[in-house]
Amino acid sequence: EDRCRTNVHLVYSVQVADASVIAATGGEYSFDGGVTWASTGATGFYEQHIDLTDGSYFQAMQFDVDVFDDPTEAEQTKRGFADEEGQVCVRVWAQDSLTGSVTWITDGYCLDVCSSLSEFHNPDPDTACTTSKTRTTTMTTTTTMG
């Protein structure tokens, strides 16, 4: 039986009122351009480090989607498993656990999907996404909440 694995990995930073109080984060994804959204197989979390940038402290966060299933042929095309280019859209939020303030890090940001496994931390442009219709997209964002 053929099964497919879809993996999305986003890294971002948030600044909260008190850097010693860990922010909450989460999100949703869409394979149909934002018509429908899901969170099954998705998780957001604190990466266990705080970075000092220009005198301000930022918590490193991560949002991942890991779906292992048996999608229809049409769904495979949307996800980039076929020769066609696929996309995934993401909506990611962070919440200051001290103040309760919620900020959308991205709301419907869409990324092209690689049709094969791709190194995402240090991609080699000569080997990442071996088909000409796909590319690796890295999203890094920093958000100040409050």
Question: Which element (helix H / strand E) includes 8?
Answer: strand 4-15
Q: CA 86, 135, 9: angle at the middle one, nearest 5?
A: 75
End-to-end CA distance of the chain: 49
Total-model pTM: 0.73
Residue at 51 is within a domain: yes
Residue at 116 is within a domain: no
Residue at 13 is within a domain: yes
Which residue in this structure is represented by tokens 């442009």?
Answer: 125
Residue at 54 is within a domain: yes
What is the rounded CA–CA span in Å between residue 100 and residue 121?
Answer: 31
What would the pLDDT profile of 44-53 be if each residue is shown by its tens digit?
Answer: 999 999 999 8
Confidence band, pLDDT 50/70/90 cuts, at residue 135: very low
Residue at 105 is within a domain: yes
Residue at 38 is within a domain: yes
Residue at 93 is within a domain: yes
Domain range enclosing 38:
4-110
CATH assignment at residue 30: 2.60.40
Give alpha helix (H) positions in 1-146.
73-79
pLDDT value of position 58:
92
Query: Is residue 79 classed as helix, strand or coil in its secondary structure?
Result: helix
Residue at 136 is within a domain: no
Query: Is residue 76 classed as helix, strand or coil in its secondary structure?
Result: helix
Is the pLDDT score of 91 beyond 90?
Answer: yes
Is the pLDDT score of 130 beyond 50?
Answer: no
pLDDT value of position 9:
82
Number of separate domains in the chain: 1
